[in-house]
Structure 1
Amino acid sequence: MRKVETFDYENIQHVFSLLSKCTEDYLFIYDFPADEYAISASATETFMLEEPEFDHATEILMNVCHPEDRKLLRDNLQGIIDGTVREHNLEYRWLGRNGHSIWISCRGQVVYDQNDHAKYMVGRITELGRRNMIDNTTGLYREIRLKSDLTKRVLTGDKNGFLLRIGIDNFKTVNDKFGRNFGDSVLNSVAECIRECVDEHGRVYRMDGDEMMVVAEVADYDQKEDQARTLYHKIRQRVDESIAAMGYKHFHTISAGGTYFKPRMQDVNTLLEQAEFALHEAKQRGKNTYVRYQEDTYQAFVKRMDIQERLRRSVEENYKGFELYYQPIVNTRKKKILGAEALLRWQDDVVGRLSPAEFVPLLEESGLIIPVGRWIIRTALEQCLCWQKKDKNFRMNINLSSIQLKKSDVIMDIETIMQELGIGNHNVLFEVTESGELESDSITQKILFSFRKRNLNLGIDDFGTGYSNFRYVKEMMFDLVKIDQAFIRNITKSQYDYLVVKQMTELAHSLNLKVCYEGVETADDLECVLDLNPDYIQGYYFAKPTTASDFETRYLCMEQKF
């Protein structure tokens, strides 16, 4: 034990200045008998300290210390002075110059006099945030500490528990609209709400961005009650109360995903991935909600991602596995095939043949529908050009995705391909599926209007299943309305469906629109719908979608006898 009577205090800041070039830590000396304190001058730029050297040190240190941590610091210092504590090694909070709390690690070595009384303490102060241990905005431990703590609980602990990953919905919009300082205040507010709701059996951590994690112990892993869900609703209620107390100056919601663990049940990374996936699912389901991790849901997600990757590879390999099938469209007045609708099919060496209902949404989610859509247009028009040699009026119907309309120059793609092939406008009709976007999205509306300006034929597919607004049908000047098969399927049994189809047909004709019925499958269906005077009919009664070669052999220019 080192004992000294005196200490040269004159050149402290000079020494600190030299040493500060070797470390990011703040160095300090505390003179207990004189109650004097000296710290690296750079500390005054970060903490609520007016000068780097000051007397009445105990009082000033208590003022710079976070109110909740003052007793911890006071007890430790008093213990050193009394001789009951032999070390200073604490993690607590100091107040920053911006008013936010900053977590620090403070370690000091005590120098004793000849009577074994504490005379000086020499040490260093580290901002834990600089080591990525503590988030200075919320005062929460960061992910690196979470992994350390979770490893102890899962691998060496004997408790059951859960992870609850919480995210602030649309937080980027908050930052963009109100600024980062306001965003930080929202993070602080939500963090405080979470802390208030978590008892002594849980701990809260700051993750990346707007997300936080709760790790909590539970008494019974197998009980029916989802305790993570219960905690989420408690936190959400507290967040709502906090917003109300602030006079609704801003309203924000939270989503959360939960997963459970047993001792030595899983590795830490697996648990973190499960909580992250559950939060992702909560966001996908509309936000402001909670989702518990389910293995079957995750495996379905993995399968979808695998399929999406196979689709990407197919595109890269010159659209390997993609094929167009064609279904006849019958002209009821001429009693012959008007043309065909091109329908996408896909078969992969690994995942096999999938229905369009499975793979088309994945094409749209990934944006692959844009290059695939160009391939569909070119392939279908090349086939149409070939069949025009047998029937010069043959028409090809081609479906367009809303993603193509909004995220690609689909008009340019169409015009370029049609000009290269030399195909006429009257031989092609493009179909878009009815949705609210047709009416509410101004960009989509402009694109659809541009079809008319270029004399490109346009039709609405699946009409009657979405918003069914004839006003936008008229204003956008569509050429064709395709009544969805859901109405045709029961038309012989349902008077309601019959009257709905009848009225939609009459109204469309009054607007000079052509009408096509989808889903005509039986002779009774055909006899019933012919009384309603459609222009075109499509369905299994005439033919299922088939390959180009089979279509040409069996159906091209076929005369239908009704």
Structure 2
Amino acid sequence: MATLIRFFAQPKYSIINAKLTGYELFIRKRETRDSTWFLPENFNKFTPKKIITLLTDTLKTLPRGLNSISINLNQEQFVDLNYFELLTALQPKTPIKLQIELTEQQAIDKTACESSEIVTMAKAYQQAGMYLCLDDIGTGANQYELVQQLAPFVFEYKFALQNIRQLVQLTELKTQIGIWRERAQQQHKLFVLEGLETFDDLALIQLFRPDVVQGYYFGKPYLLPIASDFA
């Protein structure tokens, strides 16, 4: 039997009105219908057509009035014209705003993508009316230099607490959040604080006033149905 993949969804909430603003989608796979869902070791093993077909089938089951969903692309996926063509063709067919989250992950199956490739595609997505978020800013490949190059084409910066929570002291963590929050304000970007897991983490909302929050405290990722489940 072929590997099964599905999207899991984690809610995102607006600080302005304390309302659900959308979902971030995560791909999970399992080998059989009775086995456990787990994180794929290499997302590039799934073709763009397979991923966007799954996305299309998932969108059909989402509730009316949902503002947006975001889908993660690593660097190799992001510069792949097949993803660009499929996503830009899908957007006019759904009232839900499709957001692209460029993750900090570099290419796995080939040499690292050139920053010029990434910038060119970011510009193309913007010109096509797609909403681009820089995920995991300050970690992995999404460091300051690349962020600055992409800034003209990006609407949103996302800071992931879970990426560095265990690596730095609380004081340094707050310093890093503050730096990226200030950059977002100066550059007129939305700022998302991800990885809020406990009641104590809510103090960070008061300190930094992110535009959007996300994390286990507000909801863990859960399996989304697809339209064909009901056929």
TM-score where L is the length of structure 2:
0.82
Offset of 1:512 from its aligned partner? 0.7
The alpha carbon displacement at 1:326 in A equals 0.9
Is contact 2:75–2:106 with CA below 8 Å preserved after alignment? no
Q: Deviations over 1:203-239 (max 9, x none)?
A: xxxxxxxxxxxxxxxxxxxxxxxxxxxxxxxxxxxxx
Larger helix percent: 1
Tell me if 1:434 matches 2:107: no
For 2:128, give the aligned amino acid.
Answer: R
1:243-392 aligned within 5 A: 313-314=2-3, 321-349=4-32, 352-356=35-39, 359-361=40-42, 363-364=43-44, 366=45, 368-383=46-61, 386-387=62-63, 389=64, 391=65
Q: Distance in 1 between matches of 2:24 and 2:79?
A: 23
What letter is aligned with 2:205? V
Question: Contact conserved, 2:58 with 2:224, CA < 8 A, in 1?
Answer: no
Question: Taking every aligned residue pair, what percent have the same amino acid on both sides?
Answer: 19
Kept in 2: contact 1:380–1:398 (CA 8 A): no
What displacement does 1:542 show?
A: 0.9
Counterpart selection for 1:448 from 99, 115, 122: 122
One-letter code of the match for 2:191?
V
CA distance in 2, matches of 1:488, 1:541: 18
Find the aligned partners of 2:167 and 2:192 in 1 and give their Cα distance.
15
Q: CA deviation at 1:402?
A: 2.8
Which residue is 1:457 aligned to? 131
Q: Could you tell me how far 1:350 is from its partner in structure 2?
A: 8.6
Deviations 1:403-441 (A, max 9, x none): 33334422210122233x3436xx221111135789834
Show CA shifts across 1:61-100 (max 9, x none).
xxxxxxxxxxxxxxxxxxxxxxxxxxxxxxxxxxxxxxxx
Asked whether 1:468 is paired with 2:124, we answer: no
- 1:423 aligned residue (91, 95, 98): 95
Paired residue total: 218
Distance 2:196 2:134 in 1: 18
- Does residue 513 of structure 1 match 2:161? no
CA shift digits 1:140-163 (9 cap, x unpaired): xxxxxxxxxxxxxxxxxxxxxxxx
Match in the other structure for 1:106: none
Give the unaligned 5+ runs of structure 1: 1-309, 315-320, 550-562
Summarize the Cα distance change of 1:534–1:382 in structure 2 as closer, same or farther, 3 Å threshold: same
Q: Judging changes above 3 Å, is the alpha-carbon distance between structure 1 residues 530 and 488 closer, same or farther for their aligned structure 2 residues?
A: farther
* TM-aligned CA distance change 1:479 to 1:337, over 3 Å: same
Select the structure with the greater relative contact order (CA < 8 A; seq sep ≥ 6).
2
| CA distance in structure 2 between the partners assigned to 1:450 and 1:417 by the alignment | 15
In 2, the alpha carbon distance for the partners of 1:507 and 1:537 equals 17
Contact 2:5 2:27 in 1 (8 A): yes
Structure 2 gap ranges (5+): 226-231
User: C-alpha displacement at 1:342, in angstroms?
Assistant: 1.2
1:23-102 matches, within 5 Å, as: none
Partner of 1:496: 172
- Check conservation: 1:483, 1:501, Cα contact below 8 A: yes
The AA in structure 2 aligned to 1:547 is L
Question: What amino acid does structure 2 have at the position aligned with 1:533?
Answer: R
